[in-house]
Structure 1
């Protein structure tokens, strides 16, 4: 009996050791898999900007979202109506598809809506008939222009946005609209018989108000991923300076409109899978003039102007020569520029803040990043920093 007990204990010890080694091996493999993960890099390109799309460097980009398609008579359409005085052309989409010769894995989508063209969403989502009409038009648009999918940028369900129609029914109807579009894209693939999976994605607001008006726990069933617009926290509605894309809350959190961390948390807490979320990065800044100056303490101060948008390419060169001094908010992990002579404040993104955001994105388990928009950084300063950090 004693010998049997000894043999039994020896067997248990051997089994435990093998199990431990197996667990160690699995952990090592998991870590290796994580380090080799391919993150999404979703680039919005504005069709209304005077930019040569054939010059886009797609070596580090996985998806391009062309902005924008419109909604007319309840249908998603490619619209030649001008935005900011610039027209859009179907040739843009052909040029973007041509970039696949440089990157065969590139996906090209058209984004419907945006701030200016979201007026038709609520009506298009209102009934089963209207949703089917809209969904069919989305599939047709994808098919006609040989696209890889469609991105819906409704700004915003059950909110007025830029003077849009909105209803409390938007909350449920948005889910049903996404379901209808998903079904029509799948039907398109089946009809064509090419076994292609057409992508359906959305852009989302970064605050809790947006999340409270969308069924986050339901919509993920129909989406491949979403892109959170984690920018414009301080924007063109504010005559007070502030960070427009800070990773964390500043020291004086009472002044912060939002943060990247909070935006991710409210999405995940509402039921959207973290592994299907892309973090938004702005390739532009927000500029305030006539800012109150108290010993160069200019963050969260009154200004004479609102926070207008300004392309990164329009201010980043010769910052010091132009009279700006760069400051770093250690709590918010965000930079800003200040010119005492011009009394001008700029909130923006730079290489250091991108490093912190990418590190956070990896640790949090997100799918990748999105940025708005390519032509604002045509020298690729921010894009190169982004791709470099993602490869680490």
Structure 2
């Protein structure tokens, strides 16, 4: 009996041990598979966002030009505001463009396409629209309905600028609080739409890089409603009136008596309590040309005669760099490229692969969300976009 009991207890203990071991194997298998699935998802998801703006106001867009697989987001610019509702100023071409944008998802199903509202030209009606709770909600509702109609993935607000005149726009002190309330109204409408269509929708803004912008907004509060803040960290051209300077230096230049830079702009945002993971660093895909006063002995910081316009990167490369009339220079302190023509006394400040490499490194080192660029058609050959992809290890 004792021997039998011992045998019975041993069998029972063996079964318990077997069950425990089987359970452990099952748990470890789940954890292993889950970890590998998580790793696979992380590997498939780009570590940084790459947001490009495409100008619809120029007419019909050649969709074959857009390399959707090299982007995470594409912002269509611009929709206007009319009677406190979203409005297409160029409805004939905008409608065609918006319908065709969906074809870009064939190559990149994860691409997010947003409608960008406002911009330098269409920001005049923001202040009036944002003045009352009812008009804010009505506008947000119309924009979200627009997103659903064209099967888009979200909204980009480009108000230039709350509390500031921009291009001579209507503005008022109340814009500071109303901007935040407008974003709150948008977030609520987008949340409701997500439940209806079972899809995540995105809300972003294009933000000025100046301290003036931060003083006229409540960015610390506003960030709660935003997925990303696209920082327009370029066009730093008015710091030294009448003299040449870089349009988007990463760091302050030793050559110039100013400290305007991408570094300064990002630091100002971080001081406001903006999360690094919300900040998307804007990069210009165009350059500014200037005519210098004759006999200029220096290039950066030289006296200007007049502005000679802007050119996209592809045009700069083909018509200026390859012409043999311009000398290529690097400001190694500022990490900014520029051209100088002794023959024509012209100065060109622009972005190239070298300067972009440094900006992408800065994004990674400071754990920013990624990069944004204006504007897609300025880089027709995709040289700058490819450099961004390569440095951010996207594609």
TM-score range, shorter chain: 0.7 to 0.9
Match of 1:48 in 2: 57
Q: Does 1:232 align with 2:242?
A: no
> 5 Å matches for 1:329-340?
329-340=331-342
- Figure out how many residues of one structure are paired with residues of the other and give that number: 353
Q: Which runs of 5+ in 2 are unaligned?
A: 1-37
SS at match of 2:104: helix
Match of 1:389 in 2: 391
Looking at structure 2, the residues matched to 43 and 240 of structure 1 have their Cα atoms a distance apart, in angstroms, of: 31
CA deviation after TM superposition for structure 1 residue 187, in Å: 1.2
Q: Over residues 167-217 of structure 1, what are the superposed CA-to-partner deviations in whole Å (9 max), with x where a residue is unaligned?
A: 010000000000001101111222x2x331211100000111111111111
Match of 1:77 in 2: 87
RMSD: 2.3
Mapped contact 1:239–1:288 kept (Cα < 8 A): no
Looking at structure 2, the residues matched to 283 and 234 of structure 1 have their Cα atoms a distance apart, in angstroms, of: 16
Mapped contact 1:239–1:307 kept (Cα < 8 A): no
> 5 Å matches for 1:117-266?
117-190=122-195, 192=196, 194-234=197-237, 239-256=242-259, 258-266=260-268
CA deviation after TM superposition for structure 1 residue 254, in Å: 2.7
Match of 2:346 among 344, 347, 362: 344
CA deviation after TM superposition for structure 1 residue 236, in Å: 12
Looking at structure 2, the residues matched to 252 and 55 of structure 1 have their Cα atoms a distance apart, in angstroms, of: 38
Change (3 A) 1:71 1:340: same
Kindly name which structure, 1 or 2, has the bigger radius of gyration based on alpha carbons. Answer: 2
Mapped contact 1:283–1:349 kept (Cα < 8 A): yes
Q: Which runs of 5+ in 1 are unaligned?
A: 1-28, 82-86
Change (3 A) 1:263 1:183: same
SS at match of 1:254: coil
Match of 2:284 among 277, 282, 285: 282
CA deviation after TM superposition for structure 1 residue 48, in Å: 2.0
CA deviation after TM superposition for structure 1 residue 314, in Å: 1.1
Match of 1:102 among 95, 103, 107: 107
TM-score, L = length of structure 2:
0.85
Q: Over residues 303-326 of structure 1, what are the superposed CA-to-partner deviations in whole Å (9 max), with x where a residue is unaligned?
A: 121263211111212615340001
Mapped contact 2:296–2:345 kept (Cα < 8 A): no
Looking at structure 2, the residues matched to 105 and 35 of structure 1 have their Cα atoms a distance apart, in angstroms, of: 10
Mapped contact 1:241–1:307 kept (Cα < 8 A): no
Q: Over residues 346-390 of structure 1, what are the superposed CA-to-partner deviations in whole Å (9 max), with x where a residue is unaligned?
A: 000011100100001000000100000110010111111111111
Looking at structure 2, the residues matched to 138 and 237 of structure 1 have their Cα atoms a distance apart, in angstroms, of: 40
TM-score, L = length of structure 1:
0.85
SS at match of 1:152: strand
Mapped contact 1:230–1:263 kept (Cα < 8 A): yes
Match of 2:9 in 1: none
Structure with bigger helix share is 2
Match of 2:376 among 374, 377, 389: 374
CA deviation after TM superposition for structure 1 residue 161, in Å: 0.4
